[in-house]
Amino acid sequence: MQIEISSKNEVSYGKLSFWTKFSYGLGDFATGIVWSLVSSYLLFFYTDVFGLSGGVVAILLLVARVWDCFVDPIVGLIMERTKSKHGRFRPYILYGSVSLGLFNILTFYTPNLGPTGKMIYAGVTYLLLGTFHSLVAVPYGALATVMTRDVDDRTSLSAFRGGMGQVAGIVTGATVMPLITLLGNGNNQQGYFYASMVLTLIGVPMLLIVFKNCKEVIEPMAEERPKIKDSILAVVSNKQLLLIFASVLIAVTAVFGRIGLVMYYAIYVLHRSDLIAVMFTMVSVGGLVGAFILPYIAKFVEKKTVMILGNLVSGVSFIIIYLIPATNITLILLFSFVASTSMGLAGMQYSMLADCIDDYQVKHGVRSDGAIYSVSSLVVKICNAVVGSVSVIFLTSIGYVANAEQSVETIKGINALVNLAPGVIYLLGIIPLLFYKISKARATENSRILFERQSKGSNS
């Protein structure tokens, strides 16, 4: 990364190098491997492999998210007040990565315990996995907001992050089931454990590369460091930020609701368990394509327009899949690919969060990137857990019975949960974006104002 320094704390806009952007993207590859495994396979693992009842799983997921309601904001508030030679955010990536990997492995281990012992074990390991995920993912996300002031580079960082996240999805989608089969040798409990170990050993070193190559160049001046009250206000009183949160909340409801049930759709609706890996891979490949074209689209249209386009494409495509006969596998996979391109376009949200942080700083003289990003992470986690719990409830309500032949009504219900519901939800996610007002011109002007403030502060 090329940085011009005219005094001790003055940093120019400076364009980020390809290697810096790529290194940052590796972080989402690493955390994506962990969270793709959890969001795509954990529900099925707990009910059909680990041996927990649906009711216990629903309670476990909700308890974990209540815990996150405390952990994520606390992490964000602590980060904003951290002072170290490595900056505010990077130390957490360095020291949290190994623990994250360890509990990713332990979460997919099945101990030889009774029902109560298994419930306690699952609760402890999953809570700690979520905690260490917060300690790594929250600072990782916030790091992008302080790596550059350049508006285009922020979009590019979002694209690299989104793209590598989708690569993680491709890796897990294409390799997890084969790894489970190969390493388990007929024993799914052993297979899930060893598969999680392999993916963790690939992912953790990526986080160390992020720490090494991605530097913090934006540091708030002393008078701009927020008090706890200021951090809270920076979230709850930032209208543009709340609109992004609302849109993201709606979109991830559709994403997690579908991903958690895709395995049921392949097994019981399509009667093609061999398509599980293919479908997960197809989703991630579509997302990767979306992330690749994101910077090019963003050159010509506003950021919110990119997000609206993504929601529209996904919503319509999933509704079409719902209407396609289960025998037409080719068409189902084609529209799954088209629908998934929005996951790459949704990477724009990270760039828009940075714009919201700058906009608030210009207006109020307070920079609360840690608190804001921790809430963003919390929104996604809570949605993941609530949707997972609700999915279990809906599965039960439509008559689903694990490892059994499903009724016609249940099969229709699974199809509706996996395709129709996410399609409608995606379309609803467009509504908050219609009221978003930070244009590219406004974001560029905010960057100029903040750069001038920092320059004057450095020279004073």
The per-residue pLDDT for range 15-29, each reduced to its tens digit, is 788 899 999 999 989
Is position 251 within any domain? yes
Question: Where would I find the H helices in 144-187?
Answer: 151-184
pLDDT digits (tens, 9 = 90+) for 214-240: 888 877 665 556 677 777 788 888 899
Between 398 and 451, the higher pLDDT residue = 398
Q: Tell me the two tokens of residue 138.
A: 């929250």
DSSP structure string for 259-271: HTTHHHIIIIIS-
Give the Cα separation of 270 and 268 in Å (integer): 6
Average pLDDT (29-56) is 82
Flag whether pLDDT at 9 surpasses 50. Answer: no
Flag whether pLDDT at 383 surpasses 70. Answer: yes
246 within 8 A of 362, measured Cβ to Cβ: no
**Would you tell me the crossing angle of helices 228-236 and 54-80 to the nearest 10 degrees?**
120
pLDDT digits (tens, 9 = 90+) for 117-166: 999 999 999 999 988 988 898 889 888 888 887 777 888 888 888 788 77
Q: How confident is the model at residue 44 (pLDDT cuts 50, 70, 90)?
A: confident
Residue 11 pairs with which residues in a beta bridge? Answer: 5
Average pLDDT (170-198) is 85
Which element (helix H / strand E) includes 249?
Answer: helix 239-259
Residues shown for the chain:
460
Is position 1 within any domain? no
| pLDDT at residue 125, rounded to an integer | 94
Which burial class, exposed, middle or buried, applies to 445 when counting CB atoms under 10 A from its CB (0-12, 13-18, 19+)? middle
Give the Cα separation of 28 and 166 in Å (integer): 9
For residue 318, give every residue at least 6 positions away whose Cβ sits within 8 Å of its Cβ, in sequence order, or none. Answer: 254, 258, 335, 339, 419, 420, 422, 423, 426
Instruction: Return the DSSP state at 11.
Output: E
Flag whether pLDDT at 2 surpasses 50. Answer: no
- Which of 402, 419, 123, 407 is CA-nearest to residue 259? 419
| Percent of the chain residues past pLDDT 90, beyond the cut | 25
Average pLDDT (411-437) is 93
* Least confident range of 1-10, 12-21, 382-391: 1-10
- Which of 334, 331, 332, 337 is CA-nearest to residue 283? 337
Is position 5 within any domain? no
**Can you give the residue range of the structural domain that contains 177?**
11-459
Give the Cα separation of 419 and 81 in Å (integer): 44
| pLDDT at residue 230, rounded to an integer | 76
Which element (helix H / strand E) includes 7?
Answer: strand 5-7
- Cβ-based neighbour number of residue 84 at 10 Å: 11
| pLDDT at residue 340, rounded to an integer | 86
Is position 217 within any domain? yes
| pLDDT at residue 328, rounded to an integer | 94
Average pLDDT (269-293) is 83
Give the Cα separation of 345 and 369 in Å (integer): 22
Give the Cα separation of 329 and 271 in Å (integer): 11
Radius of gyration for the alpha carbons in the chain, expressed in angstroms and rounded = 22
Flag whether pLDDT at 460 surpasses 60. Answer: no
| pLDDT at residue 305, rounded to an integer | 92
- Which CATH number do you get for residue 333? 1.20.1250.20
Is position 85 within any domain? yes
For 230, phi then psi, to 5°, come to -65, -40
Give the Cα separation of 298 and 151 in Å (integer): 11
| pLDDT at residue 456, rounded to an integer | 67
pLDDT digits (tens, 9 = 90+) for 84-129: 788 888 999 988 898 999 999 999 999 988 888 999 999 999 999 9
Give the Cα separation of 447 and 390 in Å (integer): 42
Average pLDDT (430-443) is 92
pTM: 0.69
Buried b (16+ CB within 10 A) or exposed e, 327-361: eeeeebbbbbbbbbbbbbbbbbbbbbbbbbbbbbb
pLDDT digits (tens, 9 = 90+) for 315-343: 999 999 999 999 999 999 999 999 988 77
Which element (helix H / strand E) includes 247?
Answer: helix 239-259
Average pLDDT (41-46) is 85
Is position 411 within any domain? yes
Name the average pLDDT for the chain. 83
Flag whether pLDDT at 12 surpasses 50. Answer: no
Number of domains in the chain: 1
Give the Cα separation of 274 and 262 in Å (integer): 12
Which burial class, exposed, middle or buried, applies to 459 when counting CB atoms under 10 A from its CB (0-12, 13-18, 19+)? exposed
| pLDDT at residue 237, rounded to an integer | 86
| pLDDT at residue 458, rounded to an integer | 52
179 within 8 A of 195, measured Cβ to Cβ: yes
Give the Cα separation of 377 and 76 in Å (integer): 10
Is position 6 within any domain? no
For 52, phi then psi, to 5°, come to -90, 150
Q: Tell me the two tokens of residue 448.
A: 């100029």
Is position 345 within any domain? yes
Flag whether pLDDT at 395 surpasses 70. Answer: yes
- Which of 196, 190, 219 is CA-nearest to residue 125? 196
Strands (E) located in 287-415: none
Give the Cα separation of 230 and 97 in Å (integer): 30
